[in-house]
Every structure is written in structure tokens, then in C-alpha cells.
Amino acid sequence: ALTAGIVGLPNVGKSTLFNAITQAGAEAANYPFATIDPNVGIVEVPDDRLQKLTELVNPKKTVPTAFEFTDIAGIVKGASKGEGLGNQFLSHIRQVDAICHVVRCFQDDNITHVSGQVDPIDDIETINLELILADLETVTKRFQRVEKMAKQKDKSAMAEYEVLKKLKESFEEETPARAIDFTKEEMEVIKSFHLLTIKPVLYVANVGEDEIQNPDENQNLQAVKEYAAKEGSDVITVCAKVESEIAELDGEEKEMFLEELGITESGLDQLIKASYHMLGLATYFTAGEKEVRAWTFKKGMKAPQAAGVIHSDFERGFIRAETVAYDDLVAAGSMTAAKEQGKVRSEGKEYIVQDGDVILFRFNV
């Protein structure tokens, strides 16, 4: 399963945020894919459409979809020099599919900052530089192998050589790979390098508890937003301390608390949605009388693959997918009405599943 890794310097609020994630926790029994590991937190994906479908179908139970965050602790500075824990830090980042980079934007004199003062850009650059240096080493090693072959006019080696040159130049300017525009062909080559700085990043600005209503007044947050925009990354704002309090509340209690705070959506919910999006994930639904359920698939998946998310038998024996777009189903008011209006289509194995599809898979056992 795809996972987003949480990184950040010490004392920025990572553990507080990760605790909120595990507190809010999904029922692991519902998710057989779930990794049993104290560094992994499963979260349910908030989705208003699930509520609406439940009203339409009136099932015995409703199950949201879920995915995983991985807490990547460990020292950061000097990581690229490959010493002890530093090496481990990098290898953990290599295993995740996207990065949530927590940045301290809150002031609190009681909480020591590793470099003595709150400076989010300096913090971001400290981590990013370690990752860039590690990638530079990867690229340099690769260079040595490819150079000779490129000189002998080996076509694929020549293509690789050009990409490596482009990467090396940008790393030397301390620009991460994700900030560079590559063609589709170049991206194919880059995939095989397993670079750290090609992974998408979401900056998670941790602001003070008195700032969540008007976060934009926080100058540190503004600086992070400007920095992120330059490399094409997104930023969300949370107050980790408040999130850990919200995570202990359920349904109505949670809504009342949010109202008191003057916000409509918790930072954690925003983090979940933004990370889901960053990982290239989307949701389809199954809606039977027994169960209405959301399922996660990777955008671009064809119907049999998406069916395999439910069970490998569904993929192996796939015949067709009877599918209706969520909006069409809701507009029609019921599955029967949607069928009468011709909104329910029968799709074959080449069909590319869309976010919001409500699907009944037909398969051979």
C-alpha cells in the first residue's frame, strides 16, 4: 500500500501530530492491508459522499477507506554522510511514496529549537539539503557507469547521460528533482534512480494554538508558502497540539469543538485529504444493502486492477463493471432510477476507473 512519511527536525511537533493520527485511528480489523508497526498510523479518509450514499442505500454498515502514514523519526543533519541513524533515516524515506514535512511555525519559549530560533526556511533547507546530497551521490555513481557507454553511442545510455547531467546541475544549485520539469521520457529514466527529492512533498506548517483562526498573520507560515510555491509543493496549516485534542473526540463533540475554534475542518482531516491527493489516490464505492464502502485505488487504474483492491479473485475472474458516477446516482435518487435513466454503464476490462464511481463488479469464481 502507498504511504506518506512524516519527517521534520526534532521538536517541531511530529510526534504530537503522529499521536493525533493514531488517536483518530481507523479500526484495523476493517483493513486487512494494514501494517502492524508502531511507526505506522492508519487513517480513515473523510468523505462526505459516503454519508450521502448511506442515506440512499440504507445499508447495515458503512466503511470508509483508509491509508497509512509512516512516522520517520531519527536524526537529520549529516544523514547524507551515511552515519548510523542518518543512513536509516534516508532508507526510511526511500520506502515512502510521498513526504509530509512538518515545519515549526509556532513560538513557544518553553520548547527548545534545535538551532536556537524558529526559522522555518532554515529548517526546511536543512532537511532538503540532506536529501539533495544523497541524490547527488546516487547520480554521481550512476554517471561513472553510464559515461563510457554513452561515449560508445549507446542510445539509452546517451539519454540517461543527458538526464543525469540535468539532475547533477540542479542538485549543485540545491534544487530538488521535484522542482524541475521533465518530459515523460525523462521521467521514465528517472524512476529507475529511486531519487529522494523526486517524491512529492507537502509542507505541514505547525502554528500556535492561538493562531489557527487567522494563520495567515503568522509570518513564518507566509515564508513557508512562498518557499513551497517556488518548488511547486503544497502547504497546509495545523496546530499539532490542538489536533491531538480533537483526535480524542467523536462525531458531534468534534463538530462542537471545531465550531468553538471557528474552523470547519480539522487540520488532521486536511492533512489526510492533501496526502491522499499527493499520493495520486482516488476513491470508488460499492453500495449494497449489506455494506456501503469506499475503496482506494491509484488514479489511472483499469477496472480489473481496481477490483483487485477488494480481492484478488475479483481481478482474476473479472468480467465487467457495472458503474454509475456518484453525481448521477445522487441526482437520480436511487440505483433503480439511475438504471432507468441509462446512467448505469457496463464497462469492460479496459475501463479506467474514475473518482466517485459507484461500482458493482461481475466476476467468475
Q: How far is CA 150 from the centre of its chain?
A: 37
Among 27, 37, 83, 108, binds ligand GDP (CB under 6 A): 108
Q: Which is nearer to ligand GDP, 5 or 64 (CB)?
A: 5
Q: Which is nearer to ligand GDP, 208 or 308 (CB)?
A: 208
Question: Taking contact as CB under 6 A, which single stretch among the options 202-210, 219-227, 261-269, 284-292 is the one that binds ligand GDP?
Answer: 202-210
Distance (Å, rounded) from C-alpha 329 to C-alpha 340?
Answer: 11
Binding site residues for ATP, as ranges? 11-16
CA atoms within 13 A on the CB side of 206: 30
What one-letter code names the amino acid at 182?
F
Give min distance, CB of 33 to ligand GDP, in A: 26
Give min distance, CB of 61 to ligand GDP, in A: 35
Question: Taking contact as CB under 6 A, which single stretch among the options 57-65, 90-98, 106-114, 192-200 is the one that binds ligand GDP?
Answer: 106-114
Give min distance, CB of 206 to ligand GDP, in A: 5
Q: Which is nearer to ligand GDP, 199 or 241 (CB)?
A: 241
- Tell me the three cell numbers of residue 213: 483562526
Q: Which is nearer to ligand GDP, 5 or 13 (CB)?
A: 13
Q: Which is nearer to ligand GDP, 113 or 320 (CB)?
A: 113
Sheet of 357-363, strands arranged across:
61-63, 291-298, 281-287, 357-363, 318-325, 345-347
Q: Does 248 bind ligand GDP (CB under 6 A)?
A: no
Are 97 and 203 spatial neighbours (Cβ–Cβ below 8 Å)?
Answer: no
Q: Which is nearer to ligand GDP, 200 or 267 (CB)?
A: 267
Give min distance, CB of 26 to ligand GDP, in A: 21
Distance (Å, rounded) from C-alpha 229 to C-alpha 306?
Answer: 33
- Count the site residues for ligand GDP by CB under 6 A: 17
CB atoms within 10 A of CB 57: 19
Q: Does 209 bind ligand GDP (CB under 6 A)?
A: yes
Q: Which is nearer to ligand GDP, 238 or 344 (CB)?
A: 238
Question: Taking contact as CB under 6 A, which single stretch among the options 195-203, 206-214, 273-281, 335-343 is the one that binds ligand GDP?
Answer: 206-214
Q: Does 240 bind ligand GDP (CB under 6 A)?
A: yes
Give min distance, CB of 22 to ligand GDP, in A: 13
Q: Which is nearer to ligand GDP, 64 or 267 (CB)?
A: 267
Distance (Å, rounded) from C-alpha 50 to C-alpha 63?
Answer: 8
Q: Does 206 bind ligand GDP (CB under 6 A)?
A: yes
Q: Does 208 bind ligand GDP (CB under 6 A)?
A: yes
Angle (deg, nearest 10), helices 184-191 and 155-172: 90
Give min distance, CB of 73 to ligand GDP, in A: 7
Residues 220-239 that bind ligand GDP (CB under 6 A): 239
Residues 4-33 that bind ligand GDP (CB under 6 A): 8, 10-16
Give min distance, CB of 212 to ligand GDP, in A: 9
Distance (Å, rounded) from C-alpha 128 to C-alpha 117?
Answer: 19
Q: Does 106 bind ligand GDP (CB under 6 A)?
A: yes
Distance (Å, rounded) from C-alpha 73 to C-alpha 289?
Answer: 43
Nearest to 100 by CA among 258, 282, 247, 277: 277
| Contacting positions for ligand GDP (CB under 6 A) | 8, 10-16, 106, 108, 111, 206, 208-209, 239-241
